[in-house]
Structure 1
């Protein structure tokens, strides 16, 4: 079974503790807009994960039932063996996820934050369609499908705590396990840290296969990706590399390059694409984090909206077996819409105002037309009332933005 949904409350508890450490240590590892973007990506990942896991898991079960070479059983020792084997497969999945373009297109969202804190751990991809292939050898080795889900979820849960800057080096543990220090190096875009430290739980794979890099005191990590997002839109974060690959594959002249664009080494582009459509890259010597200054009121509003989206997402995951397929699809569609909407609110775009209005119209229509438990109606209604009460002040901010743009156009 998967333990991830049960771990979510503990994730948020640890985030709260890290925020306390942030306050008392006077650090600046958190920004509201970046953190919300990471958390929203995590919610979307859980939503899409329901849909995209069905076919791969079915294939795994078929291979296990018909071609397993061994039967591992269910003892604690065999469970530990399966846990280690899963992390070995994860290492190669993660490594190819950095070193092959089509796999990087899915994984890039996890690295797109220019901050490094516990919310970064939740910034997971919604568009990974090939990673399951790396775990198929476990079916032949006799790892039961339910055991696969268990060790996979435990592997992912372990990785949560290493996304922090508040824990230093951990002595001898650095030689065996993935720690905050060596994972900070993995998330850095400094040249010395690129494509290093792929392990999920055990760092020994990196030491064995030549991909280990220690975190250096003289080279502080700079977080983010070389082709910076400059956006708070979670859908764009999940698709921007796919968009670039599609453009390059369509535009390039050589047929071999149309294929190589997808399956070549990450970062490689055909010569005619580099010449005709050059891409901007981050200059690390003049690196400046992407940020948009927003009011405290807007930050509070965005946090409330993320709370609503997370609430709906959790209720969906807990009750998915009781929902018809069309209901599932409609809820997922609403969560996607709500996630894009809050991103536009954070980006100070006027479109965010209209998206919010549409989002709540859809929500209210469901409350009016569908019988739902009283506590659920009360909870959603509370979010709605508080949010709508904040609209006049937010509308005024949008009006000021429009007027400023008009003034600039007149001056120009």
Structure 2
């Protein structure tokens, strides 16, 4: 069962309730472009997962079948409880090393790039974590936890983590000692030096208390959210590539071959001495921290919001129905999603090429629909073409009507 798919309506319902809480309390924890960027990264991650999750699942199943020590079964409640706790222990080390090693941080940093902290941040996930993430859960296979149990507790662990991404819940007393809460997870998303690289658990905070990585949220030190190498972009593709690009540039610039190799696996932030001397990196002054923002008119914001809603619907469709598709169909779906979210990011950034790219995106929907019907991945018939035509006309109107209205508004 795909628990994440069934949870999507509840995710958006809770985001809506958080927006109401913002209004009721007279605060603002959301910015449109930031929230769309976070959600775009999440949609891209789930779509990419259709292509990449086989790596982790196949290696886990192979290890369980051939090297599993104990014959644990899915009909035993204690196996489920053990697996739930054991998964979080493995997650702790995956998460911790994801902060402590350059190449792992390159994947995980996507989740931390938002300079806001709200429920949309919880859905901001990496598309490249599959490369190394599967390694950390092999101990569960070796112990004998069945794949069905593993997949279920993994989903439950992920779902638990959603609610802790909010600023509206204060400290929760004794609960703080055992479980991850909004307070101690706010610490985890901070770029303040006192808070950095702390509170790694997914469900339980006890691992952090045991291994010396716990930090309480301090009243005297307000959290500043984000990363010390700011993304400064609303583009989910660049969000996934940014820190890899940073490492690549430093590796190319390094004179030592050994440095070119080891930079990927050194502690996060380590740079070859010669590169650091020639290309120093300035860190943001948190006392004068300014969030990334691009001015965008209301009409352009509304257009981006409605277009993004289409990609959310497309992501849900792919998540629910594309698993039986052949690789060609899944690649087509991923390409449609990735290019569309890239175009949306350039629109939110008001790039000079945003409008031509938007025209290209709309035009590409024609051959993409034809290919999807030809492959049997979308229903055949004129209805789909009629819907696409209506959508295209509305999109063109959304692009140009506000532009035509501008001169009249200026005269008035």
Structure-1-length-normalised TM-score: 0.93
Distance in 2, matches of 1:300 and 1:200, equals 35
Which of 272, 275, 286 lines up with 1:273 in the alignment? 275
Which of 238, 262, 265 lines up with 2:264 in the alignment? 262
1:403: which partner in 2?
none
Q: 8 Å contact 2:79–2:145 — kept in the other structure? A: no
What SS does structure 2 have at the residue aligned with 1:16?
helix
Q: CA RMSD in A?
A: 1.9
Distance in 1, matches of 2:402 and 2:281, equals 36
How far apart are residue 201 of structure 1 and its match? 0.3
CA distance 1:120–1:326, change in 2 (3 Å): same
1:80: which partner in 2?
81
Q: 8 Å contact 2:99–2:105 — kept in the other structure? A: yes
What SS does structure 2 have at the residue aligned with 1:212?
coil
Aligned length: 399
1:55: which partner in 2?
55
1:390 aligns with 2:401: no
1:372 aligns with 2:379: yes
2:93: which partner in 1?
92
CA distance 1:232–1:255, change in 2 (3 Å): same
What SS does structure 1 have at the residue aligned with 2:80?
helix
How far apart are residue 398 of structure 1 and its match? 12
How far apart are residue 241 of structure 1 and its match? 0.6
CA distance 1:132–1:389, change in 2 (3 Å): same
Q: 8 Å contact 1:308–1:380 — kept in the other structure? A: no
How far apart are residue 6 of structure 1 and its match? 1.1
CA displacement 1:87-145 (0-9 Å, x = unmatched): 00000000000000000000001000000000000110011110110000000111111
CA distance 1:47–1:302, change in 2 (3 Å): same
Q: 8 Å contact 2:68–2:142 — kept in the other structure? A: yes
Q: 8 Å contact 1:118–1:164 — kept in the other structure? A: yes
1:179: which partner in 2?
181
Q: 8 Å contact 1:199–1:206 — kept in the other structure? A: yes
CA distance 1:356–1:67, change in 2 (3 Å): same
**Map of 1:134-153 to 2, 5 A cutoff?**
134-153=136-155
What SS does structure 2 have at the residue aligned with 1:193?
coil
How far apart are residue 71 of structure 1 and its match? 1.7
CA distance 1:214–1:378, change in 2 (3 Å): farther
Distance in 1, matches of 2:386 and 2:104, equals 43
Distance in 2, matches of 1:356 and 1:247, equals 30
Name which of structure 1's ranges 2-11 and 92-101 shifts more when overlaid on structure 2.
Answer: 2-11
Distance in 2, matches of 1:299 and 1:108, equals 26
Distance in 2, matches of 1:317 and 1:237, equals 22
1:404: which partner in 2?
none
Distance in 1, matches of 2:207 and 2:395, equals 49
Which of 316, 319, 328 lines up with 1:317 in the alignment? 319
CA displacement 1:29-69 (0-9 Å, x = unmatched): 00000000000000000011121211221111111001100
Q: 8 Å contact 2:45–2:125 — kept in the other structure? A: yes
1:409: which partner in 2?
none
Distance in 1, matches of 2:67 and 2:369, equals 49
Distance in 1, matches of 2:283 and 2:46, equals 31
CA distance 1:274–1:398, change in 2 (3 Å): farther
Distance in 1, matches of 2:401 and 2:285, equals 38
Q: 8 Å contact 1:348–1:398 — kept in the other structure? A: no
CA distance 1:345–1:256, change in 2 (3 Å): same
Q: 8 Å contact 1:248–1:269 — kept in the other structure? A: yes
How far apart are residue 383 of structure 1 and its match? 4.0
1:211 aligns with 2:213: yes
**Map of 1:158-169 to 2, 5 A cutoff?**
158-169=160-171
**Map of 1:297-376 to 2, 5 A cutoff?**
297-367=299-369, 370=373, 372=379
Q: 8 Å contact 1:350–1:398 — kept in the other structure? A: no
Gaps of 5+ in 2: 408-412
How far apart are residue 322 of structure 1 and its match? 4.1
Q: 8 Å contact 2:180–2:205 — kept in the other structure? A: yes
Distance in 2, matches of 1:338 and 1:151, equals 32
Distance in 1, matches of 2:144 and 2:318, equals 32
1:408: which partner in 2?
none
Structure-2-length-normalised TM-score: 0.93
1:407: which partner in 2?
none
